[in-house]
Chain A
Amino acid sequence: MITLTHYLIASALLFGIGLAGIMTRRNVLMILLCIEMMFNAANLAFVAYARAAGDVGGQIVVFFIITVAAAEVTVGLAIAILLARQLRTLNVDEVDALKW
């Protein structure tokens, strides 16, 4: 049977993959996708805990996260479009105008 532990392991794996993606990928779109993956890892953990504790509070938080994530993606994609238009690149290493 699938217990809480299985869910949590799956969630941790998802989170780790997302984090690794953020750390290693240079494409803005890939980074945004990885961030989404980490969100969903967190969502999975919340839902699993809610189920185990028999409390809907965790599920409510997940709805919030989905909403906020939608907004975040909107902003993130808008930035990506602007980057592509202004700098003709999606490589984050080339976007360093604000560094010293």
Chain B
Amino acid sequence: MVDVSFAPILGWTTLAAPLASSLLILLLGLHRRRLAAALAIAGLLGAFGCTLQLFLLAVNGLLALPFESSILWISLPGFTVEGGILLDELSLLMALVVTGVGSAIFIYSTAYMADDAAYSRYFGMLCLFVCSMLIIVLANNWVQLFIGWELVGFSSYMLIGHWYAKPAAADAGKKAFMVNRVADFGFLLGILALWAVSSPIAAQRTFHFQTLQERIPSFASAGLIPTGLLLLIGLLIFCGPIGKSAQFPLHVWLPDAMEGPTPVSALIHAATMVAAGVFLLCRSFWLFEGLPPVMTAIAWVGGLTAFLAACLASVEGDLKRILAYSTLSQLGYMVMALGLGGRVAGMYHLTTHAFFKALLFLAAGSVIHMTHQQDIWKLGGLWRSMRWTSLAFLIGALALCGFPGLSGFFSKDEILVLAHEHSLPLYLIGTVTAGLTAFYITRAWVVAFLGGDQERRAGESPPAMLIPLGLLALLSIAGGYLGIPYFLGQHEGEFHWGVAAVSLAVVAAGIGLGWAVYRLRVVSAKQLVQALALPYSFLRQRYYVDAFYDWYVAAVQQKLFAGFCAWVERRLIIGLGVNGVAALTRGAGELLRRCQTGKVQAYVLVFLVGVLCIVARTVLH
């Protein structure tokens, strides 16, 4: 028997290592670039090692899951909050993805950010980012999860706005933070409401995941919690993932977040931040499972996001933004899978997506690093000058399409099988989206990497960037054979030949269309745009969602609502309240000061009258 008493220490170290790195960089490393990078990578590799050890223990059955270790943090009468770690299949897999993919990105960053002036701050924030994500992943209660949730929001703000001297980057950081705050408000209300219904006895209310998981379904079936309230709680909690996982209509921050350094985009899109929303849905799956209307809403939000974002990606010209919309679309798939009851399928796709999307982003970063160009129409011919990067991007692209045998194929297929079983319209949306995905990524690869030969002079990126690319490429290829769904539980959907054949046909059609238009030039892209001018301009305006928000903020929020508040404050509170009291006092003083004549005799007269009054009173009594 192997001694596993050190398991809690491993778990806590996973949390503490990136945090310690972040603090040490802040204290010691702000002006020592090498030290900062070394600390960051050491911290993350340490966390990765601990997670891997725990994972291996769990796989070999030595560590009984779920495993919990917690300390009391706040203890008031009727209100306790713990800080703790909860290790189960879900959190272990997620932590492994976060630290593993994160490590690759950290190593890549050393080369990508080599010329950056704020190198140390970048690594410090990167560590904080990963640490916040681990706080979410390992949390055993809602409060801790929410703290991590907000920290992720903060560190993403810092990283997206890393080049804050550039107005677009500063605005993008602000936008990401504020859009997330809007969603988090609903999320927070949901958490508090869940706490309030967690027990009829005030003293026993709790934020604890596992206690809630045991209690709420039984309370609900016993009729202790009104169904309407529970539905509301479900929707409120779903607000969190809508913001963090950038689901329609709060997806607007994610494309703008491309202003950040490319490794940050990779981290946001693969391991941290957007994965948090999907992870949360998995974590609280027991809650949604009992609420079919909420599940339907989740599935449709996901399906719509998948389709709408794939359309946007098809007309985008910026390499990184294409990938951003692609992430939106894939997140839509995951959320749809969860809404259809596919906890394992969603998490599976999250994992494989983390591999190939990190790969795609890092490959795009490698291109941007060497050419300083991210407009696909100005790139081209990279296949000759950057062979390894092109190959890595190709592998990522094929995995994204769901090319048979690569990781994306397996996970996407599971989602489509699930959709096929449960909902025909969503299955159709999913299949069409698969075709669109194949089309836009073929377009991106063909135009940027084959295309003309504008970028002949660009050389290959340094090894520190190519090695992480290679590792992620291996994972993107092999991700489907690692048995991830078996680790999480059982498959929800059996392999279905019909679904697989249809999706393959659609993917082949998408690739074929992309190849025909952009490589063989059967129809030129310009003709295509002219033929579809109306939908094209609609898509180029991003469905006018951003325009709507701009209008809403400027006209409704600022002018109408803020204008009314300003009126209330200026006229009523300040005008009538504060200045009114002052005016009253001054007016009274204005009247009363007339008594002060300055004439001694007048005072004496008043005095005399007073004396006479007293005398008269004494006499009369």
Contact = CB atoms under 8 A, between A and B. Distances in A.
Interface of A: 19, 22-24, 31, 92-93, 95-100
Given A92-B599, A92-B600, A93-B599, A100 B593 contact: yes
B599 A23 contact: no
B594 A96 contact: no
Contact of B598 (A23, A31, A96): A96
B600 to A, nearest CB: 5
Contact of B597 (A23, A24, A99): A99
B619 interface: no
Contacts of B601: 22-24, 92
B599 A96 contact: yes
Contact of A23 (B593, B594, B596, B604): B604
Nearest 8 pairs of A and B residues by beta carbon: A99-B598, A96-B598, A100-B593, A92-B600, A100-B596, A99-B596, A23-B601, A22-B604
B520 to A, nearest CB: 97
Contacts of A95: 598, 600
Nearest to B589: A100
Contacts of A99: 596-599
Contacts of B600: 31, 92, 95
A36 to B, nearest CB: 15
Nearest to B611: A19
Contacts of B596: 98-100
A31 B599 CA distance: 13
Given A23-B608, A95-B600, A99-B599, 10 more contacts: A19-B608, A23-B605, A92-B599, A92-B600, A93-B599, A98-B598, A99-B596, A99-B597, A100-B593, A100-B596
Contacts of A22: 601, 604
Contacts, number: 29
- Interface centre among A24, A92, A99, by most chain B C-beta atoms within 10 angstroms, is A99
Contacts of A92: 599-601
Which label, helix, strand, loop or mixed, suits the secondary structure of the B interface? helix
Nearest to A19: B608
A97 B604 CA distance: 18
- Interface centre among B593, B598, B599, B608, by most chain A C-beta atoms within 10 angstroms, is B598
B594 A100 contact: yes
Interface string B198-230: 000000000000000000000000000000000
20 contacts: A22-B601, A22-B604, A23-B601, A23-B604, A23-B605, A23-B608, A31-B600, A92-B599, A92-B600, A92-B601, A95-B598, A95-B600, A96-B598, A97-B598, A98-B596, A98-B598, A99-B597, A99-B599, A100-B593, A100-B594
Contacts of A93: 599
A97 B597 CA distance: 10
B212 to A, nearest CB: 71
- Interface centre among A95, A97, A100, by most chain B C-beta atoms within 10 angstroms, is A100
Contacts of A97: 598
A98 B598 CA distance: 6
Contacts of A100: 593-594, 596, 598
Nearest to A100: B593
A97 B600 CA distance: 12
Contacts of B593: 100
Nearest to B594: A100
Contacts of B608: 19, 23
Interface string B158-170: 0000000000000
A99 B599 CA distance: 8
Interface string B568-612: 000000000000000000000000011011111100110010000
A92 B603 CA distance: 12
A95 B593 CA distance: 17
Nearest to A26: B601
Contacts of A23: 601, 604-605, 608
A95 B599 CA distance: 8
A99 B431 CA distance: 92
B101 to A, nearest CB: 80
A57 to B, nearest CB: 22
A92 B608 CA distance: 18
Nearest to A31: B600
Interface in B285-329: none
A23 B609 CA distance: 12
Contacts of B605: 23
A72 to B, nearest CB: 15
A78 B593 CA distance: 29
A31 B603 CA distance: 13
A31 B605 CA distance: 14
B604 to A, nearest CB: 6
Contacts of A96: 597-599
A19 B604 CA distance: 9
A99 B593 CA distance: 8
Contacts of B604: 22-23
A68 to B, nearest CB: 18
